[in-house]
Amino acid sequence: MIELLQFSLCLLAFNCFALAKFNHYRDVFKTRPSQQQSQWFLISAWISILLSLLLCIVEHQGYGGLLFCGYMALSVLLLMIFYSFKAAWVKYMSAVNVILLVISGSYIAIY
């Protein structure tokens, strides 16, 4: 479950990085992002990616660094596919991502 949390955070981070960009935001929401929105996406992205890295390192030490690199590659690949071929699905993908994040986070917090 911790691996799911680490990956969800990484995916969320890169999704926020993508949405902070004008063209990707427009592809998904059909409007321009405001300056403030872009900044919030960037801040969320950095927090999320650092949390993912932190969790990887705390849980697996050096091995976690390798996992984190793998998560980054998988996240960028998934997002590239969505943004290039199915931009309309990004909203649903983001929702699934956040749900997985909450479920895995809650599971770890409870157990």
> Can you tell me the distance from the alpha carbon of 82 to that of 102, in angstroms, rounded to the nearest whole number?
22
Interface positions, 43-72, toward another protein (CB under 8 A): 60-63, 66-67, 69-72
Q: How many residues bind another protein (CB under 8 A)?
A: 26
Interaction of residue 95 with another protein, rule CB under 8 A: no
- The minimum distance between CB 18 and another protein, in angstroms, equals 5
Interaction of residue 2 with another protein, rule CB under 8 A: no
What dihedral do alpha carbons 55, 57, 63, 69 form, nearest 10°? 70
> Can you tell me the distance from the alpha carbon of 5 to that of 64, in angstroms, rounded to the nearest whole number?
13
Conformational region of residue 102, where left means phi above 0, alpha means psi within -120 to 50, and beta covers everything else: alpha
Interaction of residue 108 with another protein, rule CB under 8 A: no
Binding stretches for another protein (CB under 8 A): 3, 14, 17-18, 21, 23-24, 60-63, 66-67, 69-74, 76-77, 79-80, 83-85
